[in-house]
Structure 1
Amino acid sequence: MVLEGLGAEERLAYVLHDLFGLPPDETARVTGGSPGDAARLARRVRERIRGGGAARADGGPGRRRAVVGRFLAAARARDARALAAVLAPDVVAYSERGPVHGAPAVAEAAVAFARLAGVARPALVDGSVGLVAFLAGAPVSAVAFTLRHDRIAVLDITTGEERVRALELAFSED
């Protein structure tokens, strides 16, 4: 029913990106937008399917930052157990390579993020709490988190300087 209520562009971006696993570049080529737009459309549909963004607002700002801080600390330590503890059991990580399902698989994949964790900063990524990693002063990777009950339920991962720059990024002063 949710898919029927979507516009054609949203439905197409969601089906191509999430269901068929097409990277944002290829999805954008079909939809006629940019890779950032295609990823944003798919993310917006995912939020509607999961309850209209309510999970994104789970907990206050301090609690959301604490969850992201625990994720970042575990990634920097390359501690898959600590990563799994901050992830919801049914977590899904979406990236250009396609979705990864479940806390054990996402935790293992996140350990690979450790090389960028040392250069990552907390940020709002398209309005969601997240992280942005920089190399030589350029943003090269961004992760937007959806939280549920103080755990990470969804990770939306964007890589590549051009794609990351296309996102709406906001950094706090603290």
Structure 2
Amino acid sequence: MSDDWLALQFEDHRTHLRAVAYRMLGSTTEADDAVQESWLRVARAGTAGVDNLGGWLTTVVARVCLDMLRSRTARREQPLPRDRAVAVNGADPEHEALLADTVGPALLVVLDTLAPAERLAFVLHDLFAIPFDEIAPLVGRSPAAARQLASRARRRVQGAESRSPAADDVRRQRTVVDAFTAASRQGDFEALLAVLDPEVVMRADAAAVDLSLATRSRGAAPLADVMLGRQAVADVFLHRAKHTRRALIDGEAGLVWWACGEVRGVFPFTVADGRVVEIGIVMDPDRVRAFDIELLAD
């Protein structure tokens, strides 16, 4: 297909792509940059083997936006004033005013608190009806995990209007994870049991199980891919948090295994009612890199 045809097709989709980018980034300037970068990638790649051009272009701009979100450091773009949002979709003011009620600057303030993968999953699925099967490759997760990212983001968006904002949820999670870490490091088995739910579940990937078998010391509790109950989980984690660091993992409180100056393993926690109800152990390098990790001060 000719370059002129592709350019025309891209222009036909530009309004939609800019809307996706704006919802992802919260800035018209960055949205324009993302769309332009997407065009450069599309022009280089061509459309061979593409059956759904609109869907494919959406995934391209989503990847670009995800890269931009992950590269943000100290500077974070502020949501635009409401009257600046009118031109985003090229719609008339009345249509844009209605749209702003659900996807305007107020929502962008909340979206800015989400981890990049959460934000992408929520925006693409809840605002643009992209299936989780298509979102999953973008965030390097399974469709089920992508669904969980969107669900977690949705709860935070909804919680922003309640008296228990997401920041408070994270603080409560960190309190529980900190208690777990202290009990593990101090070898306080009773304190470790107290912070674990009676039906706690621990899930380890194959890389973690293999590493455990290779480095298991005499008398240490064996590691299995799934372990149930606080007694079994406490046995595994007793004295084993010495080389971990506190972190936000996809926006949730958790721990990472820090070795040789880098993250070598990830321990996502699920906390409910003041206790740990699920712990993951992820050691596979590709899966570790797929997480959005923010190290916290000890």
Interval containing the TM-score (normalised by the shorter chain): 0.5 to 0.7
The letter for the 1-side match of 2:257 is A
The structure that is helix-richer by fraction is 2
Q: 1:42-86, CA deviations, whole angstroms, 9 ceiling, x for partnerless residues?
A: 4855996xxx799xx696333221111111111112333221110
Q: Output aligned runs, 1:105-116, within 5 Å.
A: 105-111=232-238, 114-115=239-240
The letter for the 2-side match of 1:41 is A
**2:204 pairs with one of 71, 82, 95:** 95
Tell me which residue corresponds to 1:136. Answer: 260
Q: 1:136-166, CA deviations, whole angstroms, 9 ceiling, x for partnerless residues?
A: 1121111111111110011122114443222
Residues 59 and 150 of structure 1 are in contact (CA less than 8 Å); yes or no, is this contact kept in structure 2? no
State the SS of the aligned residue for 1:60: helix
* Alignment size in residue pairs: 138
Partner Cα separation in structure 2 for residue 46 and residue 99 of structure 1? 22
What percentage of residue pairs aligned between the two structures are identical? 34
The letter for the 2-side match of 1:110 is F
Tell me which residue corresponds to 1:71. Answer: 180
C-alpha change, 1:47 and 1:106, in structure 2 (3 Å) is: farther
C-alpha change, 1:42 and 1:61, in structure 2 (3 Å) is: closer
**Deviation (angstroms), 1:127:** 2.1
**Deviation (angstroms), 1:132:** 0.8
C-alpha change, 1:105 and 1:146, in structure 2 (3 Å) is: same
Residue 120 in structure 1 maps to residue 224 in structure 2: no
Partner Cα separation in structure 1 for residue 229 and residue 150 of structure 2? 18
* Two-structure CA RMSD over aligned residues (Å): 3.3
Q: 1:81-133, CA deviations, whole angstroms, 9 ceiling, x for partnerless residues?
A: 2211101111111111522111111111212xx34x22211111122210111
The structure that is strand-richer by fraction is 1
Q: Output aligned runs, 1:1-174, within 5 Å.
A: 9=133, 37-38=141-142, 41-42=144-145, 44=147, 60-97=169-206, 98-111=225-238, 114-115=239-240, 117-172=241-296
Q: Please give the TM-score of this superposition, normalised by the length of structure 1.
A: 0.64
Partner Cα separation in structure 2 for residue 147 and residue 71 of structure 1? 11
Structure 2: give runs of 5+ residues left out of the alignment. Answer: 1-130, 160-165, 207-224
- Which of structures 1 and 2 has the larger relative contact order (alpha carbons within 8 angstroms, sep 6+)? 1
**Deviation (angstroms), 1:135:** 0.8
Residues 124 and 171 of structure 1 are in contact (CA less than 8 Å); yes or no, is this contact kept in structure 2? yes
Partner Cα separation in structure 2 for residue 160 and residue 131 of structure 1? 15
C-alpha change, 1:141 and 1:135, in structure 2 (3 Å) is: same
Q: Which structure would you say has the larger Rg?
A: 2
Partner Cα separation in structure 1 for residue 150 and residue 272 of structure 2? 12
Structure 1: give runs of 5+ residues left out of the alignment. Answer: 1-6, 11-30
Residues 58 and 147 of structure 1 are in contact (CA less than 8 Å); yes or no, is this contact kept in structure 2? no
The letter for the 1-side match of 2:196 is L
Q: 1:7-53, CA deviations, whole angstroms, 9 ceiling, x for partnerless residues?
A: 6859xxxxxxxxxxxxxxxxxxxx9x69x523x834855996xxx79
